Amino acid sequence: MHKTLKIGMTAGALGALVALGGLAPAQAAEDVAKLSVLHGVPGLTVDVYVNDKLTLDDFKPGDIAGPLDLPAGTYTVAITASDAADASAPAIGPVDLPLEAGKNYTAAAHLDEAGKPTATLFTNDISQVAAGEGRLTVRHVAAAPAVDVLANGAVAITALVNPNESVLALPAGTISAAVAATGTTEPVIGPADVNVAEGTNTIVYAWGSLTDKNLALAVQTIEGLHSNPDSIPAGEAGLVATNQANDSTGLMVGVAAVLMGLVAAAVVGMRRLSVARR
């Protein structure tokens, strides 16, 4: 009987703990916006100013910063050369980033299709991912024309242009990814292994410049988007059941019906046989 007692003792207190555990992160997520910053401009170490305050010092190409938890609002971002004294002469921007509470963003400093530095604010998909799957987001932020993305040799995304994105749901696992000019299969980036982790938004940026031959992939991951199995069916024979088969009157009736059916069929069959013999 101790099991029943134990359940009685702990139910109230533990219910409250679990409720708190479930609520706390949700509240935090609702109050703030999350912002990451990707540096996708080759060959240029920069400083990043947010609302005229130096936020990222000596930020290097191919690096990602954050995520920062920020109160919702509009932030003005200016990107300067790394030796600038202030934000008055930015190389990129200033741009206004409107951030909503509960959302997750990446601001990317990158080249546009023509090779001019620019900045794009992406909203990251943080909705739940089906159990066993990962989300793959591909963003074109390179000085290059439209591209196709090949996953394991097959075209997965077509005609992606700067600064757009494409989002896929895939079974969790490692894929071999390559980027090719649209309509072709000859890679301009890769093939490279990308881990599409379960319950994670894996965001791959194609960045750099086709002309300068420095195209590359950058990766950002947002974890914790998983969902769970919805059951564990772990028995099929009833061999350790706390009830017994012949307790089930329904089964008995069912068996009886089947038996009667068989008898009836047999009788009919025999009659047919006897008819046939005649």
Partner 1 sequence: MRATAGTFTALAVALALLTGCSTAPSTASSTAYVPPTNAAPTPTPTPEAPLPVAEVDVPTASASLDQNQVPQAPVPQRIRVDSLGIDMAIEPVGLADDGAMALPKDPSLAAWYRFGPSPASAAGATVVAAHVDSLIYDIGPFAQLASATAGTEIVVTTEDGQDRRYAVESVQTVTKQDVPWDAIFDRSGPSRLTLVTCGGEFDYDARTYLSNVIVSANPIA
Q: In the range 9-38, which residues lie near partner 1 by CB under 8 A?
A: 10-11, 13-15, 17-18, 20-22, 24-25, 28, 31-32, 37-38
Instruction: State which of residues 30, 69, 86, 96 lies at the interface with partner 1 (CB under 8 A).
Output: 69
253 vs 266, beta carbon nearer partner 1: 253
Instruction: State which of residues 41, 46, 56, 147 lies at the interface with partner 1 (CB under 8 A).
Output: 56
Decide: helix, strand or coil at residue 2.
helix
Q: Among residue numbers 115 through 134, which ones bind partner 1 (CB under 8 A)? A: 131-132
Instruction: State which of residues 240, 273, 275, 276 lies at the interface with partner 1 (CB under 8 A).
Output: 240
The continuous run of DSSP H or E covering 216 comes out as strand 216-222
Which pairing describes strands 147-151 and 154-160: parallel, antiparallel, or unpaired? antiparallel
The continuous run of DSSP H or E covering 7 comes out as helix 2-31
Handedness of CA 78, 82, 84, 89 (dihedral sign): negative
Window of 78-86, 147-155, 213-221, 266-274 that interacts with partner 1 by CB under 8 A: 213-221
- Does residue number 107 form part of the binding site for partner 1 (CB under 8 A)? no
35, amino acid identity: L
Nearest distance, CB of residue 202 and partner 1, angstroms: 7
Q: Among residue numbers 187 through 206, which ones bind partner 1 (CB under 8 A)? A: 192-195, 197-199, 202, 205
Which pairs with CB-CB distance under 8 Å and at least 24 residues apart come from 20-26? none
State the Cα–Cα distance between residues 228 and 126, nearest whole angstrom: 16
- Does residue number 161 form part of the binding site for partner 1 (CB under 8 A)? no
- Does residue number 54 form part of the binding site for partner 1 (CB under 8 A)? yes
- Does residue number 228 form part of the binding site for partner 1 (CB under 8 A)? yes
Q: Do residues 79 and 91 touch, judged by C-beta distance below 8 A?
A: yes
Q: Across-strand partners of 22?
A: none
- Does residue number 85 form part of the binding site for partner 1 (CB under 8 A)? no
